[in-house]
Structure 1
């Protein structure tokens, strides 16, 4: 049982460490998608700068969150979980990309699960 828990924790750690880093880096290249399309027109209208610049800022935050998961798993997992909920709520309130919002909520639950796994007796030092 203990080895299964450690395996799940490791898989979640690398998933929520690497995926935000890749997504964050892609905010600068738009290879995976045009990230600015996820910003509602209303929100884009109140930004003090171009939506592309905003997405680059988001990219930096995501890269930092991914690095935090890899180095301080418990704290990083809570940060990623909160970040994913915030993204999902933004999408739900604008009623655009609701499918992505649902997916992000599921990922937030998984990141929260990683944080909880990192708190209990199964966790190792520095997590």
Structure 2
């Protein structure tokens, strides 16, 4: 009598994917909200130093006002990850791509740009995990 079994690697793999999803979703919810709120408080840094002059010339108002708008966008991105991680993670990835372009165009902060590239890849991984979870959800 042949028994039908699931391969032993399936369950731990799914558990690992669930853990990775939860960790990434948590980080990409909290971090953008925290960084966004700090654009209003400036406790972590003077965010205006990270704004490339050419971008400052494109946006209306002052660099400070631009950073306040950035803060709002980051809070919205964090909430989007919490509510709809599949799409919110892609929003965060796109936002990080913009930050990377800004930092590299400054001709400085390459270390921060490299870190943000790693975060971009992690955000894309979250979107992939979220899509996989949606595809496997019971009907």
TM-score for the superposition, normalised by structure 2: 0.84
Structure of larger gyration radius: 2
2:3 matches 1:15: no
2:66 matches 1:62: no
- TM superposition shift of 1:98: 1.1
Correspondence for 1:24? 36
2:95 matches 1:97: no
The superposition leaves residues 31-85 of structure 1 with CA deviations (integer Å, 9 ceiling, x where unpaired) of 0111001012343344431111100000000000000000001000000011001
- TM superposition shift of 1:93: 2.0
Q: 2-side partners of 1:72 and 1:42: how far apart?
A: 33
- Give the 4+ runs in structure 1 shifted more than 2 A: 40-48, 122-125
Moved more, 87-96 or 14-23: 87-96
Moved more, 36-45 or 59-68: 36-45
Q: 2-side partners of 1:33 and 1:104: how far apart?
A: 16
- Residue in structure 2 matching 1:39, options 38, 51, 68: 51
- TM superposition shift of 1:99: 0.9
RMSD of aligned alpha carbons: 1.4
Correspondence for 1:83? 95
Q: When the two structures are aligned, how many residues end up with a matched partner?
A: 124
